[in-house]
């Protein structure tokens, strides 16, 4: 199955988003990579690398990110990862939920899951 990694500046936010997405995600592997590793707000490339390795069963990983350095650290971690991983250009929470659901489709591919994660940008709330 395609796996997911949620990268946020806050460890709590990343874990919370994983919690929300997992409710809809069946057996999808969803890993949180939040905070800078020292209990401080930030992102860290080693944490993201570990999460990528844990989420990847060989079918690739979709990475959901929040702001600024989350994007940069995710890019570096993806460059160093032995496998396929893609950053979804969409909102981190809604994208994670969409992607988690999309990954449970038996015909899901890395592309189809990214597409669904990015489609979350168009969700209407009012």
Looking at the annotation, which residues are catalytic?
Answer: 9
98 binds other proteins (CB under 8 A): no
43 binds other proteins (CB under 8 A): yes
Tell me which of 20, 24, 53, 75 binds other proteins, using CB under 8 A: 75
Alpha carbon separation from 77 to 16, 47, 103 (Å, rounded): 22, 9, 22
Task: Count interface residues toward other proteins (CB under 8 A).
Answer: 16
83 binds other proteins (CB under 8 A): no
Tell me which of 8, 44, 98, 116 binds other proteins, using CB under 8 A: 44
Least CB distance to other proteins at residue 77 (A): 9
Q: Torsion over CA of 19, 119, 65 and 54, rounded to 10 degrees?
A: 60
Minimum CB distance to other proteins smaller for 88 or for 101? 88
Minimum CB distance to other proteins smaller for 43 or for 116? 43
Least CB distance to other proteins at residue 40 (A): 7
Least CB distance to other proteins at residue 123 (A): 23
Cβ density class 49-70: b for 16+ within 10 Å, e for less = bbbbbebbeebbbbbbbbeebb
Cβ density class 5-25: b for 16+ within 10 Å, e for less = bbbbbbbebbebbbebbbeeb
């Amino acid at each position: 199955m395609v796996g997911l990694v949620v990268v946020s500046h806050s460890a709590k936010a990343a874990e919370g988003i994983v919690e929300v997405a997992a409710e809809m995600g069946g057996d999808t592997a969803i890993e949180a990579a939040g905070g800078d590793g020292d209990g401080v707000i930030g992102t860290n490339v080693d944490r993201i690398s570990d999460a990528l390795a844990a989420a990847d069963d060989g079918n690739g990983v979709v990475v959901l990110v929040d702001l600024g350095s989350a994007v940069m650290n995710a890019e570096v971690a993806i460059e160093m990862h032995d496998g396929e991983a893609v950053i979804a250009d969409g909102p981190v929470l809604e994208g994670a939920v969409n992607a988690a659901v999309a990954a449970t489709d038996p015909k899901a591919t890395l592309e189809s899951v990214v597409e669904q994660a990015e489609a979350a940008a168009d969700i209407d709330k009012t």
